[in-house]
Amino acid sequence: MSTSNQQATPSRLAVPELSIGIGLLACAAAVAWQTLAIPVSPLYSKVGPTVFPYITMTGMVILSLLLIVAALRGGWQPEEEKETPTDWKAMGFVVVGLLANLLLIQPLGFTAASVIMFVLICYGFGSKRPLRDALLGLILALAAYFGFARALGVNIGAGFVENQLNTIINSIISMLRA
Amino acid sequence: METFGHLAHGFSVAFTPVNLMWCLVGTTLGTAIGVLPGLGPALTIALLLPITYQVAPEASFILFAGIYYGAMYGGSTTSILLNTPGESATIVTALEGNRMARSGRGGAALATSAIGSFVAGTIGTMGVAFLAPIVVKFALSFGPAEYFSLMVLAFITVSAVLGSSSVRGLTSLFAGFVIGMIGVDLQTGQPRFTFGTSELLDGVDVIIVAVGLFAVGETLYMASRRYAGKDEIVPLKGSLYMTAAEWARSWRPWLRGALIGFPIGAMPAGGAEIPTFLSYAIEKKLSRHKEEFGTVGAIEGVAGPEAANNASAAGVLVPMLTLGLPTSATAAIMLSAFQSYGINPGPLLLTTQADLVWGLIASLFIANVILVILNLPLIGLWVRLLKIPAPQLYAGILVFATVGTYGISQSPIDLVILYLLGAAGFLMRRFDFPTAPVIIGMILGPLAETQFRRAMTISNGDWTVFYRHPLSLTLLTLAFIGLVGPHIWAYVERRRLRGPEHVPGDA
């Protein structure tokens, strides 16, 4: 009876947390594999380039074991997070938007890829007016391209939209000169 | 007294029209991103890092510092009107500030937080100007072993002592170490953790890590939580001018908050959570209007924590400028800006880069003045910014994230790494792992490794160097206490609490 407080949080295996612990252990294994692949010159045998990686790997193994123990005791995810159901559809649209950007940025250029990503993410977040979003995305992408990127001296490459605009701008400049 | 001479020189640097312009741009941008949920100073400064290739160091640091201070002011507006703290440092402000707004005193809450931020920011900046030369005198005697031990202490405090769990904090920190080690080892030229690819030889850019964790991760997290319900914007009511009674209730909390915030920020521990919570607890205890706390909102509960937050933000600059020791994600990214100029922050910075350091400190005083003007008379503008709908806001953030990362080398590989880090950032938010230690670990980890190897080379491979030097031993002992102490304390507390409960039940 005295343990009623403890029964409120039953110690059950928490699967998501357990997989995070195991995932971290796998990362530690990858660190070990990559550390073994570092060629060590005997000149630096005292504190060579592998000492810190080994320390990091040891730390990761200990931490992942502690996380696994915590997962076996019921996990640590805050109640508030657990109770909120995940909106998979919204997340799915964001992920599709990101992937579209990744695949299209080289063939179509930054602006076109950004507009597609913008519309998909807005739709995922519940916006119901894709045409207006496309227009907003276009304005924002052009502002980012001509303002932000140019001001920072960052070159993000040019695609179809940028080339057309650059030709128009160049022709306007040459018309003004003439 | 020489500090005044340095400051006068600093003002002559900061008062050039160009640098004033950067200060104005920085503070305006900083307030905007502080107000907007989902954008923070660390992400913004990371996105603007390429500017370091374009302008003089003074200009870019004045810009970054303006963003850093501005975000602190803007963040409180969001906390008060929306009850969604944009920054962990403004969680406490939301407690009383939002209640004040709901009971029609939002104007007073905004005013006390802006003026309190000004008072504390000015005191904190004074603190930087006077404390930094003293720390430098002390730090000149540091050898590599001391530096390494100091960094270990900072690692423990930022990841294990602050935050909800030391195991998860350290996990984030170690993930940062791994990211920081990717690329060519600077001392031996050996590639590490590149998985045989040539793209990873240069390492992973801090821009990609910051944008992945803070922009992509945050967007995925917000998308996944659309069922969580939304916070309503409380319409701004009440005069922005505080009454005499409100001034009388505010000025002591401002000063107390500044005195709590600055020393804690200046310690190699950093973090704004502890000083703000501490200030809140003290104000609640000292207030003559205890009944207002948690009901209609007490002005002391806004004034104190807001002051503490800004003073500790100033304090963080002390270890950053004098020791090269960043204790927040924003400071870590500013450190990487120093590296991009080939400047090594450390005890010599104040003499070798006097223009830069004192110009920066002077610009912080100017930034505080600009910010209090931006945030009081122009508050209506920022409130309007709060009304940007979430879909377009997050989609827009990702457009800028693409510019920032794809622009580095036009490589889709960078976008792949960005999205993988975004997925990691999402899981970290979902499972309560702090993200700042990743950035600190990735920037400070390689520096700690360099000091470690330097110390070991000097000592000819003798490990005892770290505990034979008394200062190094002290720092390592403090780190050990920081790591183990809270657990022992919690264990003792649990035993003490559980003891009497068990006896009647067992009998």
**Cα distance between residue B479 and residue B469, in whole Å:** 15
Query: Cβ contacts (< 8 Å) between A113 and chain B: which residues?
Result: 402
User: Looking at this predicted complex, what is its ipTM?
Assistant: 0.87
B376/A174 Cα distance (integer angstroms): 47
**Host domain of residue A143:** 88-159
Structural domain span for residue B133:
2-496
Does residue A133 share a domain with residue A71? no
Per-residue pLDDT of chain B (507 residues; tens, 9 = 90+): 688 889 999 999 899 999 999 999 999 999 999 998 878 899 999 999 988 888 999 999 999 999 999 999 998 888 898 877 666 777 888 889 989 998 888 889 999 999 999 999 999 999 999 999 999 988 888 989 999 999 999 999 888 877 778 899 999 999 999 999 999 887 888 888 888 888 888 889 999 999 999 999 999 999 988 766 666 778 776 677 788 888 989 999 999 999 999 999 998 876 777 888 899 999 989 888 888 888 888 999 999 999 999 999 999 999 999 999 998 999 999 999 999 999 988 888 988 888 899 999 999 999 999 999 999 888 888 888 888 888 999 999 999 998 888 888 888 889 999 999 999 999 998 898 989 999 999 999 999 999 998 898 888 878 888 888 889 999 999 999 988 888 888 888 887 776 554 444 443
Q: How many CB pairs under 8 A join A and B?
A: 209
Q: What pLDDT was estimated at residue A46?
A: 65
Residue B114 lies in a domain: yes
Residues 72-131 of chain B whose Cβ lies under 8 A from any Cβ of chain A: none
Count of domains for chain A: 2
Which residue's structure tokens are 């993988």?
A: B420
Is A170 within a domain?
A: no
- Judge if A127 and A78 occupy the same domain: no
pLDDT band at A48 (very low <50, low <70, confident <90, very high): confident
Are A135 and A118 members of one domain?
yes
Of A34, A54, A82, the residue at which a domain comes to its end is A82
Q: Specify if B507 maps to a domain.
A: no
Q: Is residue B503 part of a domain?
A: no
Element (H, E) at B315: helix B300-315
Considering only CB atoms, B402 lies closest to which of A24, A85, A110, namely A110
- The rounded distance, in Å, linking the Cα atoms of B239 and B483 is 48
Interface membership of B220 toward A (CB under 8 Å): yes
CB contact (8 A) between residue A144 and residue B50: no
Residues A129 and A148 in one domain: yes
Asked if A2 lies within 8 A of B501 by C-beta distance, the reply is yes
> Is B160 a domain residue?
yes
Closest residue in B to A139 (Cα–Cα): B396
B396 touches chain A (CB under 8 A): yes
Give the dihedral sign, CA A84/A88/A92/A93.
negative
Is the CB of A125 less than 8 angstroms away from the CB of B449? no
The confidence band for A7, taking pLDDT boundaries of 50, 70 and 90, is very low
Please say if the pLDDT value at position A6 is more than 50.
Answer: no
Say yes or no: A145 and A116 in one domain.
yes
- Residue B302 falls within a domain, yes or no? yes
- Is B506 among the domain residues? no
The number of distinct structural domains making up chain B is 1
* CB-CB under 8 Å, B398 with A98: yes
Asked if residue A174 belongs to a domain, the reply is no
Residues A76 and A36 in one domain: yes
Cβ-contact B308, B261 below 8 angstroms: yes
Radius of gyration of chain B from its Cα atoms, rounded to whole angstroms: 23
Q: Which two structure tokens, joined as six digits, stand for B57?
A: 């160091």
Residue B502 lies in a domain: no
Q: Which residues contact A17 (CB under 8 A, 6 or more apart)?
A: A67, A70, A71, A75, A76, A77, B431
Q: Look at B168 and A67 and tell me if their CB atoms are within 8 Å.
A: yes
The answer to whether residue B500 neighbours chain A at the CB level (below 8 Å) is: no
A74 and A92 share a domain? no
Instruction: Return the closest-CA partner of residue B120 out of B253, B247, B258.
Output: B258
Residues A13 and A64 in one domain: yes
Same domain for A9 and A49, yes or no, is yes
Residue A94 lies in a domain: yes
Residue A176, number of CB atoms within 10 A of its CB? 7
Q: Is residue A125 part of a domain?
A: yes
Please tell me whether residues A53 and A70 are part of one structural domain: yes
Q: Judge whether B505 lies within some domain.
A: no
Whether A173 is in a domain gets the answer no
* Distances A105 to A165, B202, B403 between C-alpha atoms, Å: 17, 23, 11
Query: Would you say residue A164 lies in a domain?
Result: no
Is A47 in Cβ contact with B461 (below 8 Å)?
Answer: yes
| CB-closest option in A39, A95, A149 to B403 | A149
Q: Report percent pLDDT > 90 for chain B.
A: 51
Transcribe A47-84 into DSSP letters.
Answer: S-TTHHHHHHHHHHHHHHHHHHHHHHTT----HHHHHS
Give the three-class secondary structure for B192.
strand
